[in-house]
Amino acid sequence: MKQKTGLVCLILLMCIAFVDTRAQFIVDSLSTRLTQKNLPPEERVTTMALLARAKSITDIKSAMRIAEKALSLSRQLPDARYQALVYTHLVFLHFINEEMPLAHKASDSALWYADKTSDRRIKGFAWFRKGWLQDIQAFDHEAMATYLQALKYLEGTDAYIYQSFVYYNMAGTYAAWDDLVNEKKYALLALQTARQSGDADELASAYQAMATWYHYSYKKQPEKRALLDSALFYNKTGIQLFAEHGDHIIIQSTLGVIALNTADLYEEYFPAKYKDTAWHYLQIALNASLRTRQLSVLSACYAMMSDYEIAKGNYKKAEELLLTGISVFQSYAVDNPRSMAQFMEGLSKLYEKMGNPTAALKYYKQFYSQHQLLYDADKLAITNRLEAQYQSEKKEAALKTLRHTAALNRKLNYLYISLAIASIIALLFIVRFFQLRLKATLHQQKLLENENAAASLHARLKEEEAMRLQAEQQLLKERQERLQKELLAGSLQVEQKNELLQTLQKKIEENKNGGAVLKQINHIIDQDKRIDDTQASYKADFDNIHPEFFEKLKEKSSNTLSRLDLKHCSYISLGLTNKEIAQRLGVAPKSILMARYRIKLKLGLGKEDDLDEYIGRVK
């Protein structure tokens, strides 16, 4: 046992030295920055808060002192976001120091100061830390609602580290709820924002989240081997990140989780020839858990290693591993019934296989004792959790009541001030009101009379205007009818002209050499001129009444209609038949049909279109 104890002490000293080396790099960088004399107080507060977080892994007491100094300095700054920032980090520090009431108090203070600043990043970080506190106390649904509230402030900003915090924890919650769709969504968002931030801690957590999703997906779809390969890829990428940038990573415990998950994948899904690979990752997980005192990972590593040795038949080696694990736990002086029960159960089963019932019974009793302690601890944890939930709900109810009361008081104050102002204004203007009342009444009556007179005048004007328009329309209609009648009369005179021309032609044929014939011809020509003048006057009147008629026809035909075509259209608009038009134009009815066909072509009408209806619409 002395040899085993010495081995344990040597391992512990090596691991403590290693973690100090890695953590010291970040601590030294931040401490060096704080030595700058010209460092602005705002940056000093931020740096001290980060230094406290970095030292919390190895020296929680020193971390708390630094955080308290940062809080004291932040109170001297006018911007409340620095106090909110320090209180947000204090939530984590109090949790590490197992001071849950103080952690809740720090969370409330962080939210209170965050509410007083316009910095959306600080608001989001404060809400995230509250959700994180709810999450570790198993208030999953409340934590998810708080995370969403945090994202309302963080999304759209460049606070990619805080966003990655939130997405990573939401992915973990959905993993616990077996919701693979949302787990993948938020794991991808965690990886995306972690890459944007360039923060190694967030990248490691995001790789772990992605590996977990692929692992859980493979469990449900074991035929898709690519899912298992992807889980291994992200785990190994996270381990490689620690190998290359471990000095820049604050949360070293992530390495233990990733390495243990990788070993578990090889142990569960790969054949026996991969046991050495699984053992390699178990060694990484064991070393990481020893450095960070990650007891759950530590106990799991010793348990898996002992199982490997038992499978090989190396009972003594398995016994040595389990006893070493117990010695390590006892050296930490930390009560962890769950891990100790796991060790005692493993030793009890091991001694039973070794044929040592006395030792098996001894460790089974210790297992039962630790299990009872675990049961009591779980009951106490549940009680504390319910108490914390009750206190939280009570506090929220009290805050809600206080806010409601404060809002009501503000409204009452505004009401009292408004009433006082209104009373003063009423007293100042009441006398003036009575003085102007009579004058205003008389003025109003005068205005009313003027309005009535104006309304009456307006009504008469509208009535006269309507009558004038009606009379004009009536005159226009009568003139149009008269002109149409005169146009018809002109058409009759055109017929008479044609008859005279025919008579003239006959006279010439009958009396080719007579002088009297010439006189008759001159008489006929004079009479025809008078008829033409009258007809031209009728057409001018027709154009004046319907100036748009011929313009529309010309526009439709692109000015291709001849004067004869327009004359033909005017006869159609008067409702004359083809035969009547032929008689007036002195041509055969067949020519009228050809003229109608030609006019339809010029107007762009189709074969089925009716020319009479078309001209009627144009008119």
H, E, C per residue of 1-66: CHHHHHHHHHHHHHHHHHHHHHHHHHHHHHHHHHCCCCCCHHHHHHHHHHHHHHHCCCCHHHHHHH
Q: What is the CATH number of the domain that holds 135?
A: 1.25.40.10
What's the predicted TM-score (pTM) here?
0.59
Contact 324, 283 (CB under 8 A): no
Summarize pLDDT for 246-274 with one digit per residue, the tens: 877 878 888 989 999 999 999 889 998 88
Residue 358 forms part of a structural domain: no
In this prediction, residues 418-422 reach a mean pLDDT of: 84
Q: Given this model, what pLDDT does residue 411 score?
A: 81
Q: Which residues contact 100 (CB under 8 A, 6 or more apart)?
A: 94, 137, 384, 388
**DSSP letters along 180-241, please?**
HHHHHHHHHHHHHHHHHHT-HHHHHHHHHHHHHHHHHHHHH-TT-HHHHHHHHHHHHHHHHH
Maximum average pLDDT range among 145-159, 237-251, 489-503: 145-159
362 CB neighbour count, 10 Å cutoff: 15
Which pLDDT score is estimated for 16? 34
Residue 601 lies in a domain: yes
d(CA 339, CA 297): 9
Structure confidence at residue 532 (pLDDT) = 56
> Residue 528 — pLDDT band, cuts 50, 70, 90?
low
Q: Give per-residue pLDDT as tens, 48-107.
A: 998 888 888 778 899 999 999 999 999 999 999 999 999 999 999 998 888 889 999 999
Report the percentage of the chain scoring pLDDT > 90: 31
Residues 27, 63 contacting (CB under 8 angstroms): no
Tell whether the model's pLDDT for residue 541 goes beyond 60: no
Residue 119 domain-assigned (yes or no): yes
Final residue of a structural domain among 114, 130, 157 = 157
Q: Check residue 616 and give its pLDDT.
A: 81
pLDDT band, very low/low/confident/very high, at 539 (cuts 50, 70, 90): low
- Band (pLDDT 50/70/90 cuts) for residue 149 is very high
- For residues 400 and 102, the model is more confident at 102
pLDDT(540) > 80: no
Given a contact cutoff of 8 angstroms between Cβ atoms, the answer to whether 57 and 23 are in contact is yes
Indicate whether 239 pLDDT > 80. yes
| Structure-token pair, residue 167 | 């997405």
User: How far apart are alpha carbons 195 and 108 in whole angstroms?
Assistant: 31
Instruction: Count the helix, strand and coil residues of the chain and give each as a percent rounded to the nearest 5.
Output: 85, 0, 15
Query: What is the residue-averaged pLDDT of the chain?
Result: 81
Buried b (16+ CB within 10 A) or exposed e, 260-277: bbbbbbbbebeeeeebee
Q: What is the pLDDT at residue 545?
A: 44
Using one digit for the tens of pLDDT, what is the confidence trace for 23-57?
A: 567 788 888 888 888 999 999 999 999 888 888 87
* pLDDT over threshold 70, residue 489: no
Of residues 14 and 302, more confidence is placed in 302
Of 343, 347, 367, 366, which Cα lies nearest the Cα of 356? Answer: 347
Residue 461 has pLDDT above 90, yes or no: no
Whether residue 77 is contained in a domain is answered as: yes
C-alpha to C-alpha distance for 205 and 214, rounded to whole angstroms: 15
> What would the mean pLDDT of 431-448 be, rounded to a whole number?
81
Q: Is residue 35 part of a domain?
A: no
Give the Cα separation of 215 and 180 in Å (integer). 11
Residue 304 has what DSSP assignment? H
Count: domains in the chain: 2
Tens digits of per-residue pLDDT, 271-323? 988 888 999 999 999 898 888 878 888 888 888 888 888 888 888 998 888 88
The more confident residue out of 512 and 613 is: 613
Structural domain for 146, as ranges: 40-157
Helix axes 160-176, 180-197, angle to 10 degrees: 160
- For the residues 369-376, what does the mean pLDDT come to? 68
**Between residues 500 and 281, the one the model is more confident about:** 281
* Cα distance between residue 475 and residue 323, in whole Å: 125
Write down the pLDDT at residue 6. 35
Q: pLDDT: is 287 or 20 the higher one?
A: 287
Residue (of 90, 87, 158) closest to 119 by Cα position: 158
CATH number at residue 602: 1.10.10.10
- Mean pLDDT for 202-212 is 94
476 pLDDT tier (thresholds 50, 70, 90): confident
131 within domain boundaries: yes
The pLDDT of residue 396 is 65
Which of 161, 156, 171, 158 has its CA nearest to residue 208?
A: 171
pLDDT band at residue 388 under the 50/70/90 scheme: low
User: Would residue 433 count as lying in a domain?
Assistant: no
Q: What pLDDT score was predicted for residue 247? A: 79
Q: Which of 100, 134, 157 is the last residue of a domain?
A: 157
Higher-confidence position of 588 and 168: 168
Tokens coding 206: 């995001």
Residue 533 covered by a domain: no
pLDDT of amino acid 382: 63
In the predicted model, what is the mean pLDDT of residues 220-243? 94
Q: Which residue has the tokens 């995306």?
A: 192
Comparison of pLDDT for 533 and 217, the residue scoring more: 217
Q: Which residues contact 366 (CB under 8 A, 6 or more apart)?
A: 340, 344
Checking if the pLDDT of 184 tops 60, the result is: yes
* Choice between 596 and 487, residue whose per-residue pLDDT is larger: 596
Give the residue from 87, 122, 157 where a domain finishes: 157
Query: What confidence tier does 12 reach under pLDDT thresholds 50, 70, 90?
Result: very low
| Residue in the block written with tokens 């692992």 | 215
Query: Which pair of tokens denotes residue 276?
Result: 């050495």
Checking 407-414 for CB contacts under 8 A at 24+ apart, the result is: none
Q: What pLDDT shows up at residue 179?
A: 95
